[in-house]
């Protein structure tokens, strides 16, 4: 049998099996939705499961993203790929790529935010692409917008770089860096938001880039260096940016068509005392999740940001717009083992001093895939299929 024919036969068998599982899922949707409605999907524990996870192999993800491909970058301990999130009182529905693609037929799903939401977008592509023939899938970029297109379904899964949601001095999708000189235009959003208007599903996040005591906030004109910048406390600046974001949604979001989600803060593991380690330790060389007893939770500033986000979502609810919070904070907080650490493409030269002390350049913000971002997408999948908005 010619190789091409053999591959085609295997693909047809795979798709038939997945479509069958999709129909089974649809038939049991009502019952499962009822049980899930009584369950907090965001509270539970991580269970080691090397039979069902990972949901895909890194090397089988054609559109590899070197910033999160930890195995490719040399990581040898791969147990971080084999953990399943188990909510208390129910099971998280397993991701079904065909079902997801069918739900996205003729639609546009858009992730908006920083590198953590880009992690989730990359995970979503890896989860979907094995169900799409190579000739019928593509990735392209248009400035801050990256687009994965599934041609058979006329569906696009996109990611837009906007780390503060509003305009800032770090809006370039490649050339940006976090510094104390960060400038944020808390009242300006249109430059970004004009790319969001016709999306059917919008998923936002904004957290990691805010984490400094004060930010330079622009007052007045936003053209070039004009205007007056004033240092503002981080939480207050965050509140002002959220106000601009919610006002934009109030005017532009389609209340009958567009589904809205906000992904809560993804915990960083830059300080080991959060899980009982001595000061100076971080996620480097960590190989197991934190036990429930050892997790110290969020800082006060994180809690203030969470309250500000909750208030913004409540305000949108009063205006007739539902935004579903995907509360990944606790479940991600246990996973000190799953960050990219030193196993990623380094965008700047690693010095000899850093090589001698790898923890000094470990990335404890972003996540390896396969891994934790796949669970975020299983949570999103559960809300799309089993909860009405």
**Is the pLDDT higher at 364 or at 4?**
364
The full set of domain ranges for the chain reads 3-386
- pTM: predicted TM-score of the whole model, two decimal places: 0.89
pLDDT band at 195 (very low <50, low <70, confident <90, very high): very high
The string of DSSP codes covering 159-212 is: EEE-TTSSEETT-SSSS----TT-EEETT--HHHHTTTTT-SEEEE---GGG-S
Average pLDDT over residues 67-78: 94
Q: Radius of gyration over alpha carbons of the chain, in Å?
A: 21
Residue 78: how many other CB atoms lie within 10 Å: 16
The string of DSSP codes covering 346-366 is: -SSPPPHHHHHSGGGG-EEEE
> What percent of the chain lies above the pLDDT cut of 70?
86
Q: Is the pLDDT of residue 2 over 70?
A: no
pLDDT band at 349 (very low <50, low <70, confident <90, very high): confident
Q: What is the pLDDT of residue 226?
A: 56
From residue 308, give the alpha-carbon distance in Å to each of 230, 283, 333: 21, 28, 20
Q: What is the pLDDT of residues 120-176, one digit of tens each?
A: 999 999 999 989 999 999 999 999 999 999 999 999 999 999 999 999 989 988 777
Is 15 within 8 Å of 76 (Cβ atoms)?
no
Dihedral of alpha carbons 349, 353, 355, 357, sign: negative
Average pLDDT over residues 186-200: 95
Q: What is the pLDDT of residue 325?
A: 97
């Amino acid at each position: 049998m010619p190789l091409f024919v053999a591959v085609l036969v295997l693909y047809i068998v795979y798709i038939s099996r997945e479509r069958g599982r999709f129909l089974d899922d649809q038939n049991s949707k009502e019952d499962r939705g009822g049980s899930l409605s009584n369950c907090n999907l965001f509270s539970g524990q991580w269970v080691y499961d090397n039979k069902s996870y990972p949901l895909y192999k890194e090397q089988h993800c054609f559109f590899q993203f070197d910033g999160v491909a930890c195995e490719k970058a040399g990581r040898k301990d791969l147990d971080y790929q084999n953990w399943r999130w188990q909510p208390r009182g129910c099971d998280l529905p397993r991701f079904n790529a065909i079902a997801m693609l069918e739900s996205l037929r003729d639609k546009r799903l858009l992730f908006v935010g920083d590198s953590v939401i880009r992690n989730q977008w990359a995970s979503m592509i890896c989860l979907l692409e094995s169900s799409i023939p190579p000739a019928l899938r593509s990735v392209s970029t248009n400035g801050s917008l990256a687009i994965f297109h599934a041609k058979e379904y006329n569906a696009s899964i996109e990611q837009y770089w906007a780390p503060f949601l509003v305009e800032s001095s770090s809006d370039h999708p490649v050339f940006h860096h976090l510094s104390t000189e960060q400038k944020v235009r808390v009242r300006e959003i249109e430059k970004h938001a004009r790319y969001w208007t016709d999306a059917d599903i919008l998923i936002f996040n904004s957290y990691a880039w805010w984490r400094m005591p004060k930010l330079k906030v622009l007052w007045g004109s936003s053209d070039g260096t004009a205007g007056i910048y004033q240092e503002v406390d981080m939480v207050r600046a965050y509140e002002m940016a959220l106000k601009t974001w919610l006002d934009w949604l109030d005017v532009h979001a389609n209340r009958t068509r567009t589904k809205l989600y906000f992904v809560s803060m993804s915990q960083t593991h830059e300080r080991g005392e959060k899980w009982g380690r001595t000061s100076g330790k971080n996620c480097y060389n960590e190989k197991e999740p934190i036990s429930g007893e050892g997790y110290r939770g969020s800082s006060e500033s994180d809690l203030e940001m969470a309250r500000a986000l909750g208030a913004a979502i409540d305000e949108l609810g009063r205006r007739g717009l539902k935004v579903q919070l995907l509360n990944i904070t606790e479940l991600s907080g246990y996973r000190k083992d799953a960050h990219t650490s030193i196993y990623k493409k380094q965008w700047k030269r690693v010095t000899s001093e850093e090589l001698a002390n790898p923890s000094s350049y470990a990335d404890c913000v972003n996540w390896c895939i396969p891994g934790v971002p796949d669970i975020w997408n299983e949570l999103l999948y559960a809300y799309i299929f089993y909860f009405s908005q």
